[in-house]
Amino acid sequence: MEALDQIANEVEELCILVEDFSVPQTKRDQRMMSAINDICAKIKTISENANLPLDQKARAWYLQGKALGVQSDYSKEVETLLGNAIKLDPHLVDAWNCMGESYWKNNDYESAKRCFLNAIEYSPDKKPNKVSLRKLSMVIRTIKSDPQSIKESLEKAKESVALDLRDSTSWYLLGNAHLFRFFRVSQRTKDIESALKAYHQSELCPGALKNPDLHYNRATVLKYLEEYQEAVKEFNLAESLDPSISSHEEIELITRFVERVHHHVTNKTWIKRKTLQMIAKTVPSPITAYNRAVIDSTFFQVENQVEKSEKTFVLKGKVFIGKILDFITDKGCPPMTAILVDGNGGIISASLYNVANESVKMNDVLHILDPEVKIISFSHGNKLISYPCIKIEYPNVIINNQNADPAKIALTNLT
């Protein structure tokens, strides 16, 4: 039916408008409500036709439900319209997907999952579609976040991308699936790198819209990787696209955190000199079994100058031994940062990746094998902050002569 074909095009344009953050929110909301009212009025006129075939009536209800469903809140009317459409024509694949989204808004995740599975079950030849697969990817890990569920979630996201390599949304959600795997299960650098690559690919897809959530999630990853300057840039981009995303607090947290670590490393006035000297004397000598050259914090300062063109470098064949003086934590995502003192009273910061928080405490002695050093550089206003930081990652650290336990990282707030 030509009239319904035209309405279907208008519904698709409406869905694009909802995700188009280049349009100011107030104007976008006005245009959205105008489009919804117009679509519903047209469908009402068509539905009044007593001779309308059942398959066309089902399609009309589905299109009306999809149009009303673009609004953020759960609607019983949407659920009823889509339910009636599916009863008349269970082969309306996208109606199942829209019904799943409706259940999702009502926090009924099991029903949402069944809808996405039915969208595949009732599709021609039972072939999966990219929308159902990526929705399944999200709902599976929402229902249960155990390793097997997260693995299945990632597989569904990959299947979605494979069906259409030019789909920006599928690439973005694949990036999210990799992040969930990283934070919940693997803590492997490969997963976090895969997430960043997927986000980048999402932006390269033809017709890709600016996605504030993508920038926010990427900022969170960069913050975790201590790429603070780039993280601030991405947080600002996210908020510029969607003012409802308040990045100001995140940027303030980063700024205060970096300034505090820098102060602890470069200014020893925060601890009494005699106290520092006494603690330094308790730092033990290295274990001969290490068969490595011992270095202290002054070595990192020298390396900072020699290797200043490199942001990260590994000191193979070396060992650094330091005692924890203090912890500087950020209420956001890891890593946890420790302030260490060496046997000569020198101070340096160390970021603890994939090391369980309960494994380390004040006054613990850390033996860091083959230290990886990262130069933290951050500019804020007219101030430029730069300091070396040791990256500590399981299993390259020994705590009080015992191996450290790997961490179970708490998942940060990804959008």
Answer for the pair 181, 208: CB distance below 8 angstroms, yes or no: no
Each residue's pLDDT tens digit, 197-218? 999 999 999 877 788 999 999 9
Q: What is the average pLDDT across 95-104?
A: 95
Element (H, E) at 107: none
pLDDT of residue 287: 67
pLDDT of residue 412: 46
Each residue's pLDDT tens digit, 209-256? 788 999 999 998 899 889 999 999 999 999 988 888 888 888 988 999
Rounded Cα distance between 239 and 248, Å, is: 9
CA 99, distance to chain mean position in Å, is 26
The pLDDT confidence band at residue 189, using thresholds 50, 70 and 90, is: confident
pLDDT above 90 as % of the chain: 44
pLDDT above 70 as % of the chain: 89
CA neighbor of 390 nearest in space, from 261, 220, 203, 205: 261
pLDDT of residue 332: 60
CA 140, distance to chain mean position in Å, is 17
Each residue's pLDDT tens digit, 376-387? 989 887 888 989
pLDDT of residue 325: 92
CA neighbor of 14 nearest in space, from 26, 24, 1, 30: 30
Q: What is the average pLDDT across 39-58?
A: 88
For the chain, the straight-line distance linking the first and the last C-alpha, in angstroms and rounded, comes to 39
Rounded Cα distance between 402 and 412, Å, is: 29
Beta strand pairing call for 372-380 and 397-399: unpaired
pLDDT of residue 408: 44
Dihedral angle sign, alpha carbons of residues 271, 274, 276, 282: negative
Amino acid at 48: E
Answer for the pair 27, 19: CB distance below 8 angstroms, yes or no: no
Q: Is 382 left (phi over 0), alpha (psi -120 to 50) or beta?
A: alpha
Element (H, E) at 402: strand 402-403
Each residue's pLDDT tens digit, 315-335? 888 888 999 999 987 766 567
Please give the full DSSP string across 318-359, using - where no structure is assigned: EEEEEEEEEEE--SSSPPEEEEEE-TTS-EEEEEEES--GGG
- Position with higher pLDDT, 147 vs 300: 147
pLDDT of residue 1: 64
Q: How many residues are there in the chain?
A: 415
Whole-number average pLDDT of the chain: 85
Please tell me the least confidently modeled range out of 7-16, 296-305, 313-322: 296-305
Query: What are phi and psi for residue 316, nearest 5 degrees?
Result: -65, 145
CA neighbor of 140 nearest in space, from 160, 155, 162, 127: 155
Task: Check whether 311 has a pLDDT greater than 70.
Answer: yes
**Residue 341: beta bridge partners?**
323, 347
Rounded Cα distance between 79 and 62, Å, is: 10
- Position with higher pLDDT, 332 vs 314: 314
Each residue's pLDDT tens digit, 73-85? 999 999 999 999 9
The pLDDT confidence band at residue 10, using thresholds 50, 70 and 90, is: very high
pLDDT of residue 290: 67
